[in-house]
Each structure stands twice: as structure tokens, then as C-alpha cells.
Structure 1
């Protein structure tokens, strides 16, 4: 039972050891001329502390800050400087000091059961975070919002409406009083279709706030709409499908693109370790003619790009991409999860870029194959508040990479421990 004046401390401490071999966040390859080193050994740390204060059963205030740091990195502050027109801002994926949550929530607005409102800083994540999600594997949170939201919940369903702006990621200053990078609004809903399934229609508006003439890709006014449908246990089968269509303008060009992610699996509950075999394809349209008046390269509006979505090497985005994937999930013991996965990556269109690194085919080349990735992931929820993870990923570079970028394979190793508390 919730009482007025309830005060709860919350926190999360995450420490991760990483090794990178053959790439980094800014460049793929092993050439000495690349930005930073392709052989970094890192200690990645994130400390998150805050509190939740319930002024009454219907009013809750949340304040939670985080400090993200990395040791051993060959990249520096200005490697993540962004320029759009006459504006300069930073989007650092590893280091930041800011609030992840600073908001006020009021339930039962106007005396209506299930109707609530919220205002302030939050992550604004939904579904599998493919359309709206902060992305948090990269240490500093991807998308964090200062927004206003109205939500209506009923019978396990909900409809959320939100409007807000996204913050930059500058480790040298808090974002509370700085100009934001994007304006956004949308509707995300969730309607149960079965005991373990639902359909989630959405529409998201995105508007770049830096509109000055010059370099940069911030000038955008787009609408992305579609749905996610999933079921985690339908007579032993499971599926997850997302379709998204994007329209609007980017700079002075029309924007017309689409993407989908489709996975289906079957869990063998009668076998040891209860294996779940999943196959799928993730697609995002590319641009067959980057020089014409229409941008056909799909890009998620405010979704995460974490490796859990597009391979643990974390060198792919949902943009000009075809990913064929096979996953094997196993549960060796209670609270243990072992996942083996194979990913086959290629460009949706050879005339467009490998979006993550903004690399194109050289003159005379028309390659599409990015490569194959092999991932091993092991997670152990040792206790209610303590989790261990070990992840190894290997990328076997394909013809596009070897002929246009760098002739080497790459690999990553993660060893992580995370402690959370709430008291």
C-alpha cells in the first residue's frame, strides 16, 4: 500500500571491462591514420543514484542522476563534437554527468481512474526500444527527454501522448538549461491481443532544432508511423514484428523510407535448458540515388541502437540494412540465460552508405555484403540486486568492408557486473 510521504532511495552501479580489436566507435580498421586506436582496453563505469518521493498515493516525484565515465579510451572530447549550421553540440556515447530522471507524475487526473500526467526528464522508452528508446548499453543514455506526457491505462492496455525535446550529451555541463537538439511528439499505445501478446500502434514526429545553413544533418521534419505486434508464448511459438513508415523532409529533400523487423521462434519446453530457436530478418530501406530530391534511407526516429538490437559488435544501425539472424536461447539453470546468435549483414542498397561509419562504395565497386557476426551472451541474475554478464562478439568482414573500408575482421569482449538497489 502506498502512503503519503513514502521516500525510496534507488541506485544502480554498473562496471564493465571491454576489449576492442579492429575497430572503435568512430572508425573501422587497423590503420594508424584512423581516429583513436582500434585496440582499446576499457573500464566502463556508470553510477546512478536518486530517490522517489510519493507526496500522496496519486503524486510522485522522481529524481535520479548518473555519472558515466570510461578509462583507457583513445577517443577524446572533441571526437564527439557535432556541427549543424552555426550550432555546435556534443553526443558522447560513453561519458556524461546528468539527470536520467527528474519528473513529477500525477495519477487519476480530473478524478478519472487510469488517467495520469507527467512532466520533466525521462527516458521515454517503449516496446523493444526500436522506435522509442534511450539506448543504454553505450554507458551514457542515448535519447533522454524533457517532456510532458498524458497516459490512459485500462485493463492492461494504455495510450500515451507526449511532447518534448531531447538533450545533448556533453560531459562538461548539465543539459537542464541548454538548448535541446530535437523536438518530438507522438502517440504510443499498447493493446493486449492474448495472454502473452499485444499490438502497439505508434506515430512519432521529429523536428531538428538547429536549422541554420551549413553542414550537419539536424534539419529534419519527419513522421514515422506503424506498429509492433508480438507474443511471447503462442502454443510454444513466439514472434515479434515491427513495421515503420517514414515521411516528411530532411534538409530540402523529401523523406520517404521504411523499415521492418520480423522474428519468429519456438521454445522446446520439454527439453533440457528449454531451448528457444528464433529466426528473423531486420530491414531498413536505403537510397538508390542519393543525388536526387528524395531521401529513401530509413532511420529510426528516437530508437536505441544498442547491440541487443543489431548485433553485439554494435557497429550497425537500423538504416540501409538487411540483417538475417538466427538465435538460440537456452536456460541452463534458474536465473541463467545463454544466447548464441548468427547475424548476416548487408546493405539494402549498394549506392548508399554503411550508416554507422558513413562509408560508401568506392568508384567501380558495387558491394553489399557487410559481413557475418557471431555472438555469445551469458547472463546470470545471481541475486535480486546483482547481475553478471559475459559477451563475446566476432565480426567476419564481408566484401563491402574489405574492398572499401579496411581488410580486417574485428572482435569485442565484455565482462560486466551490475548492482541495483531500492530501499
Structure 2
């Protein structure tokens, strides 16, 4: 059995087709086109080739980095050929490093159909796409992985909340859509979500709906409890007043009955008053529960076996907005075989991730040490100055670690493009 599974995997890998594999070398600009979107009003940022401040391999880890801050970024490339995924898996994978410690902005990729070709010169937020996939971060409220699929001209966001990685290291995001209308999402080659396109998106209307013509029967009793018909009001209940004169009050000495009228003591709440009498409640023997209209088949529902199907995927691109720029995108692959994409991630990201983390830790340690040296000494406590006059002036002063202040996060919603 193991040999049969291995043979099947080898056959699938041999037949796998790769529609783009991009590692961003020095010739990357020959393959990628910067969109004219937002350029005329100066809101367009740019992409530059860089491995960033920390990396595992200075050359192999080069990708395209966004900059400067508070700009829109849009760039795209053509697939090697149009991808018709009829009967095939669709796998899109890429890596992104939010080196700048992204506070608000997108980090996702888009697959765009050939039908949008005439709009690609100004590829931007309004350009129709087929698949949008990847992380989106904005403050503490938005830290998720988008999976947005287009169906009959409308974009549908996955209903699950998928957590995005928010550190400053490189992470790999992989989406797999299968012709049986199931999907899987991986982060760093670990599965974080899977399920059905029918259940986790609202591309199709519900199979059943509440019958709009149904009406609640007149004798339907929704009261869980009712007044006890055998409970009787105690005698004298209504004779107890709500307030009584304050016996401790006395007429003011300057009160003049002729001018001020007859003095009456102010009233206070009567401690013996029990309020309006109501019979106690008992369970309603006729209770039938809350009435709900019965389900009927939805006349607008039409089953579709082709939710997964995109017949003309032609472009791949990034269309983003970032408050703080500096994200580095790398190692893009679009293929019809997950194992091929996995092997690509293992040859690129996996080989570099440990060395990148080691370099990151070293740089952060050096930065912390530099901040500690630059931090001012704490104010002298009472008696310290006087004590210093008697102590040896050559004694070594202790070091003091500065305080790192975290910036306030913007709680506004992320760059969700639906």
C-alpha cells in the first residue's frame, strides 16, 4: 500500500504543471509591470529588490519590498500561460516578511483572470480578480488571513477567522482549492484551515428558507410562565400606603401658619409597603415554545459543482495599501500540485528560516543594548548626592535598561476588498 501511495504521488508530481515560479533575481523587473494606478496623484509607492535587514541568504532571500510609507502599491506579472483549473487543483503560494513590524496594511496576493487584461495597465483596487489570498493586519482588531473567491462577478470572503502571523520574520502562505469543492490553507506548511466551499463561503443561496407564507396559529401559546390562577391577594394589601409621614420631622421654629399654611410633616417611603400585588408565576402547561416558521426548499437555490472553477487565470499581482511600508514578498508559485509547491517552499523558505531568525535575534539584541546605553540614568534618590561625596568616585556605575514604548494601534478595519 505504501509503495502504491508513493507511486501515485510520484506520478502526480511528474504530471504537475507550474504556471509561475518567481524568486525575484536581478532580472525581476523584466517580468513584472508596475501599475499606473495612483501614480498621477502621487499616492503610488514602489517595489525594490531587497533581502531586508535580516535573512538567511543575502542573495536567495531577495524579494520585492514596498516603500515608502502611507502609499498604495500595485504590481503584476503574467502567468507562463493561462491556467484553466477545470478538474485540477489550484495552488497559490508565496512568502512575505513584514520587516517593518506592519501596523496597518495588506500583505496578500491576487490571481486575476484574462477578462481583466484591458484593465491591467491601471491594475488596482477596482480591477476584477478571481482569488485574493494572504494576510491583512490593522491594529489589534484585524489580524487575519483573507481567502476571497469570485463567483459570478461578486467577491465572497471566507466565513472562518484565520489568524495571520504578525512578527517580523518571513512566513509562507499556501492556498489549495480542489475540484471536489474543498480547500486547505497552510501557514509555514502547517494546515490552519480546511473545509467545503459550500459551507465556508456564501457563494450559493441557502438550500432552505423559512416559509414566508407561514403564520403562527392563533392558539399558539409562547408564554413559558403564567400567573397562578389560584394565588389570591392577601387581605389588607391595598390598605398599606406607599409613603407615611416622617415622625421624626418637626415644624420649623420660623413657620407661620397664617402666612405659610398648616404645617404637615414630609413623607418618607413606607417600609411596610410591598408594591402592587401580582400573583406568583407558574409554568404554563399550554406552552409550545417559540414559534418558528417551517423550512421549505429555497426556489432560488441552484446547485453548482463548479464553485472551484476558474477557466482563465492569467495574472498574479499585489495590490496593497500600507501605513508603514517595508514588506518583502518572495517565492511565488502557482501550480496544480500541492507537493510541488511544498517542495518549492522547502527549497527556499525552509532552508533560510533558521538562519534568518538567528540574524534577527542578533540584530534585535544589538539594538536593545544600544538603547540601554543611550538611556538616561534614573533620577537620584534622596541622599544619593550626599552619599556620592563620601564614596570612591572611581566606583563603577550600574547600567540601566531603557523602557520600550509600544505605539498605539489603529483599531480601524483592515483593507478588506469585497
Do they fold alike, i.e. is TM over 0.5?
A: no
- Larger strand fraction of residues: 1
TM-score (norm 1): 0.23
User: Which structure has more RCO (C-alpha within 8 Å, separation ≥ 6)?
Assistant: 2
Which structure: greater helix fraction? 2
Please give the TM-score of this superposition, normalised by the length of structure 2. Answer: 0.23
Higher CA-based Rg:
2
